[in-house]
Amino acid sequence: MPRTSVKGQVLADLVAEFAESPLEKEGEEQNIDRKSIGMVYVDGAANQRGSGVGLVAISPEKITIEKFLRLGFSATNNEAKYEALLVGMDIVQKMGRTTVEVFSDSRLVVGQVNGELEARDLRMQVYLSQVRHLQSEFKSFILQQIPRNRNTYANSLATLATFSAQSLLQIILVEDLCKPTDLKREKAQIHQVRARPNWMDLIVLFLKDNILPEKKVEANKVRRKAPHFLLSEDQKLYKRSFSRPYLLCIHPDVVEPLLKELHEGIYGCHMGGRSLSHKALTQGYWWPNMQNGAREYVKKCD
């Protein structure tokens, strides 16, 4: 074999060994896009009670954000659906995602954003311009129309927003009932208690009558704590929270019966201390040092 052909073969083998395969490169790009993608289901609703939007955002890590907003202004059904799209895009952007897929059952909104329909109404033109502005900040933006029966979750949240009254505390708890309720079991009465003096008294007194303790140190403590609580019209104290619904504050005498019901009662699963305190939170209750109290109760029970 001539030496020139041998050299050519060696060079070809070297290039083949170190060259990046187009399929591998495409796979890596798809993997990057998959990591940066965000999926959002959006919907808006308007009726006689008002208007609102609902959305369900799902991250690649399967973290789900469910949100509904009441619109504090008059809006048509199409305007509410545009508002839902804008809110969904904004949430995905705050999640740090550069690629987004949005699903909506609105033919008008999807058609106008994708250029299939013309936005003739002035309000629709303004909304479309805002979507275009947000759209430019994504590497990839896909808006798809889906049947209404595939968007029922977001639609339910949007409808719920129109029902919500401004003055109500929003506490929505979803639980699984694993077995039939034992009607013969004596249920713990956790609210009807003749309360002895406890940690809530000073906060309630300040929120209700603006009265502080005479000692300066105690007064400062109450001032610092008070903004984190809310006193309802029926004189119940709630713990404010930014990431979850307001939580009902529990009197110390009621803590143990409550833990007993959660740990051993009809909803009980004999869980650990940390899980037990989390269960109390999801049920809508709060008291100081919850985890420690739940941990001590579990030790005593075991």
Lowest mean pLDDT among 35-44, 85-94, 201-210, 286-295: 35-44
pLDDT at 81: 94
- Looking at residue 98, its pLDDT comes to 84
Architecture of domain 33-163 in this structure: 2-Layer Sandwich (3.30)
**Phi, psi (5° rounding) for residue 223?**
-60, -40
Question: What's the start-to-end Cα distance of the chain, in Å?
Answer: 85
| Cβ proximity of 153 and 65 under 8 Å | no
**pLDDT at position 142 over 90:** yes
Query: What are the boundaries of each domain within the chain?
Result: 33-163, 200-301
**141-156 burial, b if ≥16 CB within 10 A, otherwise e?**
bebebeeeeebeebbb
Compute and round to an integer the Cα radius of gyration of the chain: 28
Residue 140: beta bridge partners?
A: 99
pTM of the model: 0.48
With a pLDDT cut of 90, the percent of the chain lying above it is 21
Tens of pLDDT, residues 64-112: 888 888 888 888 999 999 999 998 888 888 877 888 899 999 999 999 9
* Fold adopted by 200-301: Endonuclease III; domain 1 (1.10.340)
Token output for 147 = 């049947």
Task: Tell me the pLDDT band of 117, cut-offs 50, 70 and 90.
Answer: very high
Question: Tokens representing 56?
Answer: 């369900």
Whether the predicted pLDDT of 242 surpasses 50: yes
pLDDT mean across residues, the chain: 77
